[in-house]
């Protein structure tokens, strides 16, 4: 162990501990800006680029960046000497001297790490008035890049390259002209971007933000000729409260429903219903392939990969197109909900498809892009019209002057609002496959599950494997969250060494609870854990916890779809995938 | 292979890309590589064991072969070394040695080293820019001339010095620029 003194406090730390972590141990919070550490997910960014965290180390000529300097035995460190404070202020003023001064109208105002740091450091003037760099704005179907607001912290680059291994964003050019951009400075929609939105989730400023559909939703709600239907994804209820100052992990399902009703949605439905439907379709597909395999068919196409996550779909279409026949053909729950609402439900209430607007509330930015995919449109009319993020919903609620804290809890409308515990856990890593196992087990074995909780499928490890006893058959399951982890399992499949029957993949670390559209976690991974626990709590509290027991799902099949994987189900609830590997090459 | 490496040009990689509005406009700098070029490039990558850590060396050799680093060349290197294309592009745009623009048939290099500079190299450079209507690092639309600066060719006694291809011109004054260009009719 090493002994170091920080601001006259002595602390013992293991070799390899940074000054930043050592200081935190004795309650000293050294300010940071570019630094990001999601401990539970093994994600760390410390390029020591911003120099906000500099401290004075006795006997050392230069100030040391606390995030990237390891403690040495006997070190004496001062984190707030005059020299440190002056340097920090100067560094901050220099960063701000090349940053637009439009805080009042900026999308990130109030949630901006840069703005907060400027306040914390007491910046009241910027003494450096020089040229500011300017770059074009880049708008894609999901993400907006406004590079003028970039402070080159490289968090997005780390997420895109190391965590997600998508490799779209990189620092390019040099000096004053340096920016973070895709190859050849092409726009995001010409690149291999998956729209997972993890870059947006970690961006400290408004350099990366989501495409905002808030106003389009307001316009739809104000149109008396339209019936406006809303669906809410599972992960939203576990995080929305944070936008109103509630503790992470607070479940606000009832309040969220009440708020949506007050906003004027005609029907408040639940994506969890569509998640149950997904299990029926995807689970049936799993069992069909499994039975083929058990019958000795060598072309049984196992392992089956889940297909609920549009970021993940984009990833394999770009990076692993040779595997595009392996994922389930089941659409994501968002895109299952759309055609059921616009066909089954529209018929039921006697309106035409084009008179219905479907809005989805999603923890996700890739879902915005998914809505715009041509295969999810009928004569140009999208199955889901607008996808708004958890953050945007919070803004909508605030715009409508709704006192969120004092709302009475309300229930979803029927029939598309009824869901089981299996649907709820779709929002966290391991949840989709657990939901699938609950149904597939009972259908395959004909037995009733004694215990529906499959603890072995839960957790935050990036890649997990487990096996479930299917009446003598060891069903081998792989789980990956974060696209870098998914890549590992895909490489195994490509090499023919994969041992799994079924694999669940979610693009975002933690699954949808850590999605690019969720309230910003500002680098605190305990927030993600709390959200996951909230979903498991909601599941445990549900009367029905298996998708195939959802009475309205049963009714939907009896009255409308026939059987799972029927012709009609295929037409409305399944999709196909494209080879997009060469899309960035322009001949 | 090193002998074919073109004259170092400063900032050659920047200027044309500033004007890009969409990814589509990249097609203007896209070329179609011949199979033999692709094979040659793959050989270069293989000679470095397709090691991602050798990216700069591979780019160096590739520029030696092609004279510049068009998008296709970067794409192949990205695939062979398993380095994201954005990272390859990042390295190409970071180092002033690398360029994405083909040199002109007659590459013009103006020495802006100390001796040449104090003897009026900048005025000579301005005259070339004016006559060719291009900036440093660019190539004329007909592909005939390209313009770059370099630092000292070791002929300070002849300052200011201008190189056109292999030919050296000494004690160049701005009013000589038109005559020099006229020598290159084809």
Q: DSSP per residue over B54-106, as a string?
A: GHHHHHHHHHHHHSS--HHHHHHHHHHHT--HHHHHHHHHHSTT--SSPPPSE
Active site residue A367: yes
Is residue A188 within 8 A of residue B20, CB to CB? The reply is no
Distances (CA, A) of A272 to A45, A223, A307: 35, 27, 15
> pLDDT means per 10 residues in chain A (587 residues)?
97 97 97 90 89 97 96 97 97 96 94 96 93 93 96 96 96 92 94 96 96 96 97 98 97 98 98 97 95 90 95 96 96 98 97 97 98 96 98 97 97 96 97 96 93 94 94 93 96 95 96 96 89 97 96 97 96 96 55
Q: Are A42 and A528 in contact (CB under 8 A)?
A: no
- Helices B71-81 and B55-66 pack at an angle, to 10 degrees, of 150
- Inform me whether the C-beta atom of residue B71 falls under 8 Å from chain A C-beta atoms: yes
Q: CA B43, B46, B52, B57 torsion: positive or negative?
A: negative
Strand B162-164 relative to strand B167-169: parallel, antiparallel, unpaired? antiparallel
How confident is residue B9, by pLDDT bands cut at 50, 70 and 90? very low
Is A247 within 8 Å of A391 (Cβ atoms)? Answer: no
Task: Kindly report the number of other CB atoms within 10 A of residue B7's CB atom.
Answer: 16
Within-domain flag for A577: no
Whether the CB-CB separation of A327 and A354 falls below 8 Å is answered with no
**Domain-embedded: residue A131:** no
B contacts of A187 (beta carbons < 8 Å)? 22-23
Contact A126, A98 (CB under 8 A): no
- Residue pair A113/A77 in contact (Cβ under 8 Å)? The answer is no
Point out the residue among A167, A174, A185 whose CB comes nearest to the CB of B17: A185
Mean pLDDT, to the nearest integer, of B138-151?
A: 90
**Which residue matches tokens 């999709």?**
A575
Domain membership of residue A426 (yes or no) is yes
Give the active site residue among A108, A149, A255, A367. A367
Which residue, among A144, A161, A96, has the nearest Cα to A122 in the 3D structure? A96
What are the residues whose beta carbons fall under 8 Å from the beta carbon of B167, sequence distance 6 or more?
none
d(CA A447, CA A471): 9
Residue A343 is part of a domain; what is its CATH number? 3.40.50.1780
Which residue, among B86, B87, B90, would best test binding to A if mutated, counting the most A CBs under 10 Å from its CB? B86
The answer to whether B89 contacts A167, with C-beta atoms less than 8 Å apart, is: no
Angle at alpha carbon of residue A350, lines to A347 and A356, rounded to 5°: 75
- Please give the structure tokens belonging to residue A259: 């708020």
CB contact under 8 A, B85 and A173: no
Mean pLDDT calculated for residue range B99-108 = 89
Let me know whether A453 and A533 are in one domain: yes
Residue A371 bears catalytic tag: no
String of DSSP letters for A121-140? TT---------------EE-
Which residues of B are less than 8 Å from A171 in CB distance?
90, 94
Q: What is the CA radius of gyration of chain A?
A: 25
Contact B85 A167 (CB under 8 A): yes
Count CA atoms within 13 Å of residue A211 on its CB side: 20
Handedness of CA B59, B64, B68, B71 (dihedral sign): negative
Number of domains in chain A: 4
- Residue span of the structural domain in which A243 resides: 217-273+335-413
Cα gap A330→A336, rounded to integer Å = 8
- DSSP letters, A302-328, are -SEE----HHHHHHHHHH-GGGTTSB-
**Domain identity same for A206 and A222:** no
- β-strands A227-232, A170-172 pairing: unpaired
Residues of chain B found within 8 Å of residue A190, distances taken between Cβ atoms: 22-24
Nearest C-alpha of chain A: how many angstroms from B83?
A: 8
The answer to whether residue A164 sits within a structural domain is yes
Q: Any idea what the CATH number is for the domain that residue A101 is in?
A: 3.10.20.740
Distances (CA, A) of A154 to A171, A172, B1: 8, 11, 36
CA distance A356 to A367: 19
User: What pLDDT, on the 0 to 100 scale, is given for residue B97?
Assistant: 82
Question: Residue B4: pLDDT above 50?
Answer: no
CA-wise closest residue to B8 among B116, B122, B113, B119: B113
Residue that is last in its domain, among A210, A231, A259: A210
**A511 and A469 belong to one structural domain:** yes
pLDDT recorded at residue A40: 78
User: Taking a C-beta distance cutoff of 8 angstroms, is the pair A78, A7 a contact?
Assistant: yes
Work out whether the CA dihedral A449, A455, A461, A464 comes out positive or negative. negative
Q: How far does B111 lie from chain A, in Å, by closest CA?
A: 23
Tokens representing residue B53 in the block: 């850590």
Domain with residue A445: its CATH number is 3.40.950.10
Q: Tell me, yes or no, whether A378 lies in a domain.
A: yes
Burial pattern A72-101, b for ≥16 Cβ within 10 A else e, equals: eeebebbbeeeebeebbbebbbebbebbee
Domains of chain B: which residue ranges? 2-94, 106-182
Model pLDDT, residue A107:
93
Does the distance separating the beta carbons of B89 and A183 come in below 8 Å?
yes
User: What backbone torsions phi and psi does residue A388 show, to the nearest 5 degrees?
Assistant: -115, 150
| pLDDT value of position B31 | 66
Q: What is the length of chain A?
A: 587
Whether A46 sits among the annotated catalytic residues: the reply is no
B89 touches chain A (CB under 8 A): yes
The dihedral of CA B171, B177, B179, B181: what is its sign? positive
The predicted structure's pLDDT at residue B67: 86
pTM: 0.88
B43 DSSP 8-state letter: H
A516 and A372 housed in the same domain: no
Q: What is the ipTM of this complex?
A: 0.88
> Is A546 one of the annotated active-site residues of the chain?
no
Tell me, yes or no, whether A170 and A23 share the same domain: no
Report if residue A84 sits inside a domain.
yes
Helix (H) and strand (E) counts in chain A: 19, 22
pLDDT band at residue B13 using 50, 70 and 90 as cut-offs:
very low
Together in a domain, A46 and A7: yes
How far is Cα A101 from Cα A236, in angstroms, rounded to an integer?
32
Q: Give the B window 23-62 contacts with A, CB below 8 Å.
A: 23-24, 26-27, 30, 32
DSSP β-ladder status, A386-389 and A356-362: parallel
Give the domain-ending residue among A120, A154, A183: A120
Nearest beta carbon to residue B14 from set A170, A177, A585: A177
d(CA A58, CA A51): 18
Asked if A402 and A262 sit in the same domain, the reply is: yes
Query: B23, B26, B59: which to substitute to probe chain A, counting the most A Cβ within 10 Å?
Result: B23
CB of A58 less than 8 A from some CB of B: no
The answer as to whether A50 is a domain residue is yes
3-class secondary-structure state, position A477: strand
Question: CA-CA distance, A315 to A306, in Å (whole number)?
Answer: 13
- At residue B24, does pLDDT exceed 60? no
Q: Which of B17, B22, B93 sits opposite A174 (nearest CB)?
A: B93
Cα A250 to Cα A244: distance, rounded to the nearest angstrom: 11
Give the residue from A466, A99, A417, A394 showing the smallest Cα distance to A276: A417
Work out the angle at residue A12's Cα, subtended by the Cα atoms of residues A11 and A13, and round it to the nearest 5 degrees. Answer: 115
CB burial of residue A448 (10 Å; 0-12, 13-18, 19+): exposed
CA dist., res. A181 & res. A135, Å (int)? 11
**Chain A residues within an 8 Å CB radius of B23:** 182, 184, 186-187, 189-191, 584, 586
pLDDT tens digit string along B44-72? 999 999 999 999 999 999 998 988 999 99
Q: Cβ A173–B22 below 8 Å, yes or no?
A: no
Right CATH number for B106-182 from 3.40.30.10, 3.40.630.10, 3.30.420.40, 3.40.50.2300? 3.40.30.10
E strand map for A273-395:
304-305, 356-362, 377-378, 381-382, 386-389
Is there a catalytic annotation at residue A137?
no
Whether B19 has a pLDDT exceeding 50, the answer reads no
Number of Cβ atoms within 10 Å of the Cβ of A463: 15
Under an 8 A CB cutoff, do A173 and B84 touch? no
CB nearest A172 (choices: B21, B23, B93): B93
**Same domain, yes or no: A425 and A297:** yes
Catalytic residue among A18, A307, A328, A387: A328
Q: Is B104 buried (19+), middle (13-18) or exposed (0-12) by CB count in 10 A? A: buried
> Is pLDDT at B15 greater than 50 in this prediction?
no
Answer yes or no: do A326 and A341 share one domain.
no
**B26 vs A171: CB contact, 8 Å cut-off?**
no
- Given this model, what pLDDT does residue A436 score? 96
CA distance A307 to A432: 10
Q: Does A20 reside within a domain?
A: yes
Pairing, β A502-506 against β B106-111: unpaired
Integer Cα distance of A243 and A231 in angstroms = 19
Indicate whether A408 and A289 sit together in one domain. no
A510 Rama class: left (phi>0) / alpha (psi -120 to 50) / beta: left
Residue A283 backbone zone (phi > 0: left; psi -120 to 50: alpha; other: beta): alpha
| A100 and A18 within one domain | yes
Chain B residues touching A166 at Cβ < 8 A: 84
Q: Say yes or no: A510 and A444 in one domain.
A: yes
């Amino acid at each position: 162990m090493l002994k170091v003194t920080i601001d006259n406090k002595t602390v013992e730390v293991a070799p390899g501990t940074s000054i930043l972590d050592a200081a935190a141990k004795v309650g000293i919070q050294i300010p940071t800006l570019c630094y990001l550490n999601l401990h539970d997910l093994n994600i760390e960014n410390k390029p020591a680029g911003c120099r906000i965290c500099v401290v004075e180390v006795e006997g050392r000529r230069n100030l040391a960046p606390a995030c990237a300097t390891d403690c040495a035995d006997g070190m004496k460190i001062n984190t707030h000497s005059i020299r440190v404070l002056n340097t920090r202020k100067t560094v901050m003023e220099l960063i701000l001297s090349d940053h637009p001064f439009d805080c009042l109208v900026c999308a990130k105002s109030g949630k901006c790490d840069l703005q907060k740091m400027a306040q914390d450091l007491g910046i009241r003037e910027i003494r450096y008035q020089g040229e500011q760099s300017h770059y074009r704005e880049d708008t894609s179907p999901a993400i907006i890049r406004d590079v003028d607001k970039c402070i080159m912290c490289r968090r997005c680059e780390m997420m895109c390259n190391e965590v997600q291994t998508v490799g779209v964003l990189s620092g390019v050019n040099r000096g004053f002209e340096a920016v973070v951009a895709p190859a050849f400075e092409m726009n995001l929609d010409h690149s291999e971007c998956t729209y997972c939105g993890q870059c947006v989730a970690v961006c400290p400023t408004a350099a990366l933000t989501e495409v905002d559909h808030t106003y389009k939703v307001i316009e739809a709600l104000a149109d008396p000729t339209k019936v406006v239907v809303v669906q809410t994804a599972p992960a939203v209820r576990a995080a929305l409260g944070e936008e109103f100052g509630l503790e992470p992990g607070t479940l606000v399902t009832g309040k969220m429903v009440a708020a949506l009703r007050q906003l004027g949605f005609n029907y408040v439905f639940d994506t969890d219903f569509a998640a149950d439907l997904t299990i029926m379709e995807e689970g049936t597909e799993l069992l069909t392939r499994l039975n083929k395999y058990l019958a000795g068919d060598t072309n049984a196409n196992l392992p089956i990969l889940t297909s609920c996550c549009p970021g993940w779909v984009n990833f394999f279409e770009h990076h692993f197109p040779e595997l595009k026949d392996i994922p389930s053909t089941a659409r994501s729950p968002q895109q299952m909900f759309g055609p059921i609402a616009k066909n089954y439900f529209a018929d039921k209430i006697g309106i035409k498809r084009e008179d219905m607007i479907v809005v989805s509330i999603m923890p996700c930015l890739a879902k915005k892009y998914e809505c715009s995919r041509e295969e999810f449109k009928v004569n140009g009319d999208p199955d889901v019209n607008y996808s708004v993020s958890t953050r945007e919903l919070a803004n909508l609620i605030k715009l409508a002057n709704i006192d969120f804290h004092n709302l009475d809890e309300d229930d979803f409308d029927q029939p598309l609002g009824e869901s089981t515990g299996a649907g709820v856990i779709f929002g966290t890593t391991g949840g989709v496959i657990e939901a699938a196992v609950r149904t597939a087990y009972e259908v395959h074995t004909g037995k009733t599950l004694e215990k529906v909780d499959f603890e072995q499928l839960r957790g935050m490890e990036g890649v997990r494997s487990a096996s479930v006893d299917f009446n003598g058959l060891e069903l081998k399951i792989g789980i990956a969250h974060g696209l870098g982890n998914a890549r590992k399992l895909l490489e195994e499949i490509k090499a023919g060494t994969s041992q799994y029957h079924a694999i669940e993949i979610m693009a975002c670390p933690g699954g949808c609870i850590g999605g690019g559209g969720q309230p910003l976690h500002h680098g605190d991974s305990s927030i993600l854990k709390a959200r996951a626990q909230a979903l498991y709590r909601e599941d445990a509290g549900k009367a029905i916890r298996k998708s195939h027991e959802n009475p309205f799902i049963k009714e939907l099949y009896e009255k409308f779809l026939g059987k799972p994987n029927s012709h009609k189900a295929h037409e409305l609830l399944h999709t196909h995938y494209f080879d997009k590997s060469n899309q960035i090459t322009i001949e | 292979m090193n002998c074919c490496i073109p004259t170092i040009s400063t900032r050659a990689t920047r200027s044309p890309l500033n004007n890009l509005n969409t990814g589509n406009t990249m097609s203007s700098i896209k070329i179609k590589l011949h199979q033999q070029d692709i094979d040659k490039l793959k050989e270069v990558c293989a000679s470095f064991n397709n090691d991602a850590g050798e990216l700069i060396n591979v780019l160096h050799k590739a520029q030696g072969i092609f004279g510049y680093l068009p998008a296709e060349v970067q794409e192949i290197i990205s695939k062979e070394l398993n380095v994201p294309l954005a990272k390859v592009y990042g390295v190409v745009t970071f180092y002033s040695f690398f360029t994405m623009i083909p040199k002109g048939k007659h590459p013009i290099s103006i020495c802006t080293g100390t001796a040449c500079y104090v003897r009026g190299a900048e005025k000579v450079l301005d005259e070339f820019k004016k006559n060719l209507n291009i900036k440093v690092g660019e190539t004329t639309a007909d592909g005939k001339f390209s313009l770059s600066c370099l630092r000292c060719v070791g002929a300070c006694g002849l300052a200011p010095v201008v190189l056109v291809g292999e030919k050296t011109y000494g004690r160049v004054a701005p009013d000589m620029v038109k005559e020099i260009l006229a020598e290159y009719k084809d």
